[in-house]
């Protein structure tokens, strides 16, 4: 296995350090019955990285992602976020601490406008109840922040459109806006390019690159040309284990990685 320029261990380290690891795992393992989907993974995501998790089908990417976002309990091992053990912390608590999982389109309210969806995300951050019936004027103080967030993701022209009417790529931009409303330091993206055509892919890749400035992003992504374009660190999984880490150039030159992809349906 190659590990190129790997992040230094900073368990408990301070994220003020540019090289600090925001997320670290130790011996992270998940079994399903007798099957080991993620096996003894020691993994780190460096502050302000745009980090991709790749690997052939069935490598364990989604399982590792679900463990990190606490959607799935670990069988063994630990997950540390900003120096604190979060192995058993609920996803909502993690989100309030700045680690937010995005691109769950189901979390968008389809029959509300783009603007209303972002406003509700802001209300949620402020722990207000979703008072749809509240007088318009009491919700107006969110307007400026909503407009800023919509501008950040290029959705200003769609502000008054119902979410359900948005083209697919724009729905994902809306999801990203509702994520940004949580003021995340770390954004976790599950296959952000899935189901998109070329034009949406190019725009979404640029959007992710832009929102990643000053933030940390970890994404599972099948589209290797997007990964090559925007990610500065790549971890390759195979059969639940890390087989390589480094820049795209480094991991794509690794014989074990090339071997892992042979016979898979990836390009």
- CA gap 129, 16 in Å, rounded: 34
- CA gap 140, 146 in Å, rounded: 10
Among 1, 17, 27, 32, binds ligand ATP (CB under 6 A): 32
Check binding of 98 to ligand ATP (CB under 6 A). no
Torsion over CA: 156, 160, 166, 167 (sign)? negative
Size of the site for ligand ATP (CB under 6 A): 11
Nearer to ligand ATP, 22 or 59 (CB): 59
Nearer to ligand ATP, 180 or 193 (CB): 193
Among 20, 23, 37, 211, binds ligand ATP (CB under 6 A): 37
CB-CB contact of 215 with 186 (8 Å): yes
- CA gap 52, 38 in Å, rounded: 17
Check binding of 238 to ligand ATP (CB under 6 A). no
Nearer to ligand ATP, 116 or 190 (CB): 190
The distance of closest approach from Cβ of residue 61 to ligand ATP in the complex, given in angstroms and rounded to an integer, is 4
Nearer to ligand ATP, 71 or 109 (CB): 71
Residue 41: exposed, middle, or buried by beta-carbon count in 10 A (0-12, 13-18, 19+)? Answer: buried
Residue 248 burial (CB count, 10 A):
19
Check binding of 101 to ligand ATP (CB under 6 A). no
The distance of closest approach from Cβ of residue 56 to ligand ATP in the complex, given in angstroms and rounded to an integer, is 7
- For residues 48-67, which are near ligand ATP according to CB under 6 A? 55, 57-63
Helix 168-180 with 114-125: angle, nearest 10 deg:
20
Nearer to ligand ATP, 139 or 244 (CB): 244
Strand order in the sheet with 50-54: 2-3, 241-246, 233-238, 50-54, 216-220, 186-190, 99-102
Give the interface with ligand ATP as residue ranges (CB under 6 A).
Answer: 32, 35, 37, 55, 57-63
């Amino acid at each position: 296995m190659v590990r190129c320029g790997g992040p230094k261990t900073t368990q408990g380290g301070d994220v003020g350090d540019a090289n600090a690891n925001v997320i670290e795992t130790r011996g992270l393992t998940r079994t399903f019955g007798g099957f080991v989907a993620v096996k003894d993974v020691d993994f780190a995501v460096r502050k302000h990285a745009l980090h991709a998790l790749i690997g052939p089908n069935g490598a364990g990417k989604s399982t590792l992602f679900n463990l990190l976002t606490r959607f799935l309990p670990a069988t063994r091992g630990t997950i540390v976020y900003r120096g604190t053990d979060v192995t058993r912390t609920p996803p909502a608590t993690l989100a309030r601490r700045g680690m937010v999982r995005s691109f769950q389109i189901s979390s968008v309210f389809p029959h509300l406008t783009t603007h209303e969806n972002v406003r509700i995300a802001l209300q949620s951050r402020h722990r207000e109840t979703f008072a749809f019936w509240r007088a318009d004027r009491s919700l107006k103080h969110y307007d400026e922040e909503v407009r800023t967030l919509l501008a950040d993701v290029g959705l200003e022209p769609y502000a008054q459109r119902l979410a359900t009417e948005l083209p697919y790529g724009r729905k994902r931009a809306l999801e990203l806006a509702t994520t940004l409303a949580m003021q995340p330091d770390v954004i976790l993206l599950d296959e952000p390019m899935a189901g998109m055509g070329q034009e949406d892919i190019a725009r979404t890749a640029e959007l992710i690159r832009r929102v990643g400035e000053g933030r940390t992003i970890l994404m599972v992504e099948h589209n290797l040309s997007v990964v090559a374009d925007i990610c500065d660190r790549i971890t390759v999984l195979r059969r639940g284990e890390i087989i390589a880490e480094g820049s795209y150039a480094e991991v794509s030159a690794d014989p074990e990685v090339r071997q892992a992809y042979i016979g898979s349906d990836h390009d």
